Amino acid sequence: MTIENDRPGPPVTSPSILLLTLARRIEADLGAALAPLDLTVSRLGLLGHIAGVPGVSFSDLARMSGTTVQSAHTAVKALARAGLVRDHTARAGSASAIELTPEGARLLEAAKEVVAEVDERLFGPDADPIHRQVAATVRAAFSP
């Protein structure tokens, strides 16, 4: 028997580990691309949720963002101080009425362009073929 035949086969590939590794790369690339806009991936997500669900409650915003209600309150306050959102909540415990300001809407549009550039670089025609296949599978899984 040769040495080659005594070698173990390749390790079992874990989809969880592979996707986590790819997600970390995407988050790092996206974070670096958003930095000139003074945005993080988390802040972008919050702006997107607020734009997509007018009048979203803090509970729903926290759930969509994977954070606590307290963290959602803190984040919305920071976005409001930055002039990106308005919180029309009349008083503690009342229904929320959080909305983007014109500046927040402008920033969200600029961020969408940055996301498209990152998507093109990581998943476009010149990207690694495996990354392109992952992107096609994700798009197909989540298309209506």
With a pLDDT cut of 90, the percent of the chain lying above it is 69
Q: State pLDDT tens for residues 99-133.
A: 999 999 999 999 999 999 999 999 999 999 999 99
Is 1 contained in some domain? Answer: no
Q: Can you list the positions of beta strands (E) in 28-100? A: 85-87, 98-100
CA distance 125 to 134: 13
CA distance 30 to 34: 6
Q: Cα dihedral sign for 130, 134, 136, 140?
A: positive
Question: Across all residues in the chain, what is the average pLDDT?
Answer: 89
Q: State pLDDT tens for residues 81-94.
A: 999 999 887 566 66
How many domains does one find in the chain? 1
Is the pLDDT reported for residue 30 higher than 90? yes
- Look up the domain containing 79 and give its range: 14-142
Is 5 contained in some domain? Answer: no
Is 81 contained in some domain? Answer: yes
CATH code of the domain covering residue 45: 1.10.10.10
**Model confidence, pTM:** 0.81
Is 6 contained in some domain? Answer: no
Tokens of 107: 């920033």
